[in-house]
Amino acid sequence: MAVTINTLREYKQKGEAFAVLTSYDATFAQIVSEAGVDVILIGDSLGMVLQGHDSTLPVTLEQMVYHTRCVAQGNRGALIMADMPFMSYGTVQQALDNAAQLMRAGAHMVKLEGTDWMKDTIRALSERGVPVCAHLGLTPQFVNKFGGYKVQGRDEKAAELMIEHACALEDAGADVILLECVPSPLAARITQAVQAPVIGIGAGADTDGQVLVVHDMLGLTTGRTPKFVKNFLAETGSVQEAIAAYVKAVRERTFPAEEHTFKA
């Protein structure tokens, strides 16, 4: 049965963790969905892992549409989430026009990075039938404002602000929240504070779901490996088995372990 937003809500209600991975092409989409990954993310991380840029900023909507089409061809029942790239949702109208292109290409949900300024945008998308994932914490499109890729929400003031933003975006219509590189106690608080399923990366073991860039979990990281990454290919014999091991570890909550987690 195809995964829908209701499937993710049921997981949250039952306390069952679900697995998310990125894919950018049909082959990976098929392998990942057949391995039991519930959500496939066409991440704008493709700007780094496919295109070789040092940030996600150069990625265009046209490129996201192309990769979303490729993934939709290979997908076998996962929910397809597509990133809206940098400055493709600067205004509400832009967000509507550009989300429409991603939905037509096969996405079931779009993901936007930001804080409470996105309320009107999320409400407009949601009211018109576009489910939204709100990405908070380390939002890579803001790398130039952050001055680097840094863990977010480390002091109590920043933590409380992030909880407020998550709640405000849920109220505006966000169906899923994604937290990147936040201390695990904060991720746990946000997961409790919202009804929406929360997906984490570098956010500890207490979120409702986990996501990794597929290249990273296959040991294909070039440069420094982030703390939250685990190479699942190292302990298995094939890409298929590595992805199955990741799904199992997420469901059993053995991944992420302490060593993959920011405590404060």
54 is in an annotated binding site: no
Residues 6+ apart with CB under 8 A from 222: none
Would residue 180 show up in a list of annotated catalytic residues for this protein? yes
Q: Which amino acid, residue 215?
A: H
Q: Which amino acid, residue 53?
A: H
Strand 39-42 to strand 176-180: parallel, antiparallel, or no bridges (unpaired)? unpaired
For Na ion, the binding residue among 83, 170, 175, 206 (CB under 5 A) is 83
For ligand KIV, the binding residue among 37, 70, 83, 204 (CB under 6 A) is 83
Angstrom distance (rounded) from CA 24 to CA 30: 11
Angstrom distance (rounded) from CA 21 to CA 42: 9
Residue (of 262, 258, 250) closest to 39 by Cα position? 250
From Na ion, ligand KIV, none, interface partner of 80 (C-beta below 5 to 8 A by class): none
> Rule CB under 6 A: which of 40-69 touch ligand KIV?
41, 43-45
Give me the helix-helix angle, 92-104 and 119-127, nearest 10°.
Answer: 40
Nearer to ligand KIV, 44 or 206 (CB): 44
> Rule CB under 6 A: which of 232-261 touch ligand KIV?
none
For residue 81, count other CB atoms closer than 10 A to its CB: 27
Shortest Cβ 43–ligand KIV spacing (Å): 2
* Piece of 42-50, 146-154, 185-193, 209-217 that binds Na ion (CB under 5 A): 42-50
Nearer to ligand KIV, 183 or 202 (CB): 202
45 is in an annotated binding site: yes
Residues 6+ apart with CB under 8 A from 90: none
Place of tokens 């169906």: 175
Catalytic residue among 34, 180, 258, 259: 180
208 binds Na ion (CB under 5 A): no
For ligand KIV, the binding residue among 8, 21, 213, 229 (CB under 6 A) is 213
44 binds Na ion (CB under 5 A): yes
Spell 105-126 as b/e; 16+ CB within 10 A means b.
bbbbbbbbbbbbebbebbbbbe
Shortest Cβ 22–ligand KIV spacing (Å): 5
Task: List, as residue ranges, the binding site for Mg(2+).
Answer: 44, 83, 113
In the annotated binding site for 3-methyl-2-oxobutanoate, the residues are 44-45, 83, 111
- Residues forming the active site: 180
Judged by the rule CB under 6 A, the positions of this chain that interact with ligand KIV are: 22, 41, 43-45, 83, 178, 180, 201, 211, 213
